[in-house]
Each structure stands twice: as C-alpha cells, then as structure tokens.
Structure 1
C-alpha cells in the first residue's frame, strides 16, 4: 500500500490519496462547480514611467533571497522587491506599513497604473 500525503483542506485531495493507496476512488462532489475565472483590473508598471521591466521586476517572494534583494533595491528604486521584502531594519509591522505607503505612492505618481477595464491575464 502506498502512503500518500493527505491534504485535509479539500475532499478531492483525500480522495486522490485514497486512490494512490489502492482504495476505491469515486468522485461524489455535487457542490463542485469547477473553475471560475473572473476578470479584474490589474496593477502594472506604467510604460512611460518605467522603460525596462527587467530592472523593476524580481523573482517571486518564495524564490527571492534576502541577499539578492539588496542588489535589486540598490539597482532600481522602483523595484518590486520594495513591496515584497520591505526594509528589514524596521519592526515587522512598520515594514508592511512602509510597503503599503510605497504602493500608494507609486500609484499616486503613476509609477504603477490600474488597468481601466477588468481583464483576464495570461501568466
């Protein structure tokens, strides 16, 4: 019998684990409606404020190393790392308050813009 990790957050995960363990497998999920996609108004860098997206983007938070963030922050003052990994010299609550202020400032000075129409984005 195969031991599979079980996710207790969703019935389908448990069903998959049972199937992997050789138990009978049946979907009995009348509530399951499937995937729902909803358009939203994205926030992105304004092309007239930022000419090189490579200079202001950074890896996802789970891949961004603390040491690497210092290089991103010094190279470009509008790098997204300022929002993802705010100033480590501040207390935790102040770090995120500072990141929120930075986000508001970038929206106000149009470093970042909000799309006018809700859209589905491909990633």
Structure 2
C-alpha cells in the first residue's frame, strides 16, 4: 500500500477498532441521553467496575467522551454530537444488513419447505 490515502485509512481503521467493543458501544449509547455518573453506567451495563473503568479510559483517550469530577462522583458525557450521529448511522446500516439477511433466511426456509423462488425474489409454492 503506497497510496497517499493509506495514513487516513489507517486512522479510520484504528477509530473503528476502538469502537469494536460491546461495553464501549453500550456506554456511548447510554450517554446519548445525556451525562451519566459512573455508578449509573455500572448498574445499566452490569460489568465489573474495573472492566468499565478500562473501557471508559479508552473512550476518554479517543476523545469520544469527557469526564468531570464532583467530589467522589465522576460524570461522563459524549464529547460531541457527531458521536450520537455515528451511532444512529450504524443502527440504520445494521438494520438494512439484518433486513437483507432476514429476507435471505426466509427464502432459504421456503426452498427447504418445497417452495420455488419466484422471479421477483419472493418464494412461490410449486
């Protein structure tokens, strides 16, 4: 890979790898509704405190969330609206992918049950 595009694509790949953990995704989803103290995140996600702390640190270092301390309470919030928009876009894309998979699964089940796929892609019983 020698193209000038490589560094940018590598940065994007790192960004998506950073998002590639279910706890981090769940934290970001929860924070879409507004700032939350760590104790609320813990009760909503139900992971060990050390595991949540580790994932929050990754999100902080990436700049996706910010943390403020008030006494012994640490409150997290999304660093910007783009994160929420990214999650909405991911939800839309996943919905499309899963809908396509559901359509294929339906067609497969129909062919296994003796149906013949019609020309329009909808199974028809022969």
Which TM class, normalised by the smaller chain length? under 0.3
Q: TM-score, normalised by structure 2?
A: 0.24
Q: TM-score, normalised by structure 1?
A: 0.25
Q: Which has the higher helix share?
A: 2
